[in-house]
Amino acid sequence: MVGLLDLPSKILDHIVRYAIDNSCEACELSPVCKQFHQVLIRHMYKSVYATGSIKVRDAVLDLLHPYGHHIFDFRIHFLAEEFANGNVERLIYGFGCMTSLTRFAVSISLDKKPSPHGPSQTLMTTAERDQWVHLCSSLPSSLVYLHLIDFHVADAWEGIVASDFPSLEHLDLQLYGKIHPTSPQKLKHSSNLTSLTKISLSTHLFLRPSTVAELSKSTHLKELCIGPSDLTDMAHLECVRSVPAMAHSAEIEAMIAVLSPRIERLTTSFASAGLQLLLMQFPNLVHLTVHNVDFCWQNNDMKTFIVSFFASPLQPLEILYCARIPRCFAQWMDPSNKWPHLEQLIVWKSMSEDNGPVDWRPAKPSWVNVGGRMIMEGKWMGGDRLVLESNCIARGNLDWEID
């Protein structure tokens, strides 16, 4: 009889690739025996996050030389007072060891006492900016995902301009501020960002038209995300919620106007619900996700916002964690009304315009049979839900979920 340990290491590696969900599980199994350790070590160091205490971060940097070649995904956090004291050089040295690195995220806290009301406009010192440009230009050209977090876009852009990311597909800028008119605008390398397919932008961040033009040079760019790209990052979501609604809507509108003819997927959140997109066309948009928006029904925010997408060939439509959805939304799902090619509708953890329960259920429900399904009915909330679900059923091949 052949035991598990009798299998060749390549087969064991193939098995654990599907059996192990994360590096923690790999760490728990690695002490079983030497062979397990040799097989699991590449899974243990596949994703490395040096975002804890300074001691943890320094310990991780020490591991880059022996284990860096296993790392695909690396995230690191720097404090302002230590950014220019040699740790950047240690990380740059580690890049030479991380030969498989494709995903990199860096956050830099420039404020010793961050404000609970959102990020400040703190800029790097000259020494810190020089270190950042050096760090950014030393990143491997094999990167496909670059995530910059919680520092000023004027500083970040100088590093991006000086670098060369010919393989980068997703640029995630969860930053704040505006790029200065005096900042360099043109990318230094002609191959930089030519493979870009997706841009994610914080609602704290506003780009100049010339910057958007540089980012949109990639013919592959089809996806735009405004707001947090990670809906599980509750701390970041709360920070964004503190921003006044559409304080700089003109800048975001100008940016979307440049990209609207080519966007195939748009994700938007929070303050961006008030955008005036009526004059824009999204002829190629097939996937729209709206999340964490409080639609103020008195001002017809949702009607004003979403009318721009009535002519778009939407297939999936997702409304997530939204409040005060207008009653007319149920009518829009009529098969003869909007989006005839819609294949999927998800309305998840969202509320009606009269502040109804999260799942639109009435206070005193009764059950009715609609198309073979038992559906709650009661006050107007239940009635509108009934209309919405009936329209979804009438569409036939629509995959829908209302929670």
What are the pLDDT digits (tens) for 289-314? 988 777 764 445 666 777 778 889 99
More confident residue, 78 or 368: 78
- For the record, the structure tokens of 312 come out as 């778009």
| Distant-in-sequence, close-in-space partners of 62: CB < 8 Å, separation ≥ 6 | none
Q: Which of 170, 151, 305 is nearest to 224 (CA)?
A: 170
| pTM, two decimal places | 0.80
Flag whether pLDDT at 263 surpasses 70: yes
| β-bridge partners, 79 | 109
Buried b (16+ CB within 10 A) or exposed e, 261-296: ebbbbbbbbbbbbbbebeebebeebbbbbbbbbbbb
pLDDT of residue 121: 64
Buried b (16+ CB within 10 A) or exposed e, 96-121: ebbebbbbbbbbbbbeeeeeeebbee
pLDDT of residue 146: 94
pLDDT category of residue 182 using cuts at 50, 70 and 90: low
Flag whether pLDDT at 351 surpasses 50: yes
Flag whether pLDDT at 241 surpasses 50: no
Residue pLDDT, tens place only, 138-169: 999 889 999 998 888 888 998 998 899 999 99
pLDDT of residue 124: 84
Instruction: Please name the residue that has the structure tokens 């050096």.
Output: 134
Q: Which of 138-152, 200-214, 272-286, 319-333 has the lowest mean pLDDT?
A: 272-286
- CATH architecture label of 46-255: Alpha-Beta Horseshoe (3.80)
Flag whether pLDDT at 220 surpasses 70: yes
pLDDT of residue 148: 92
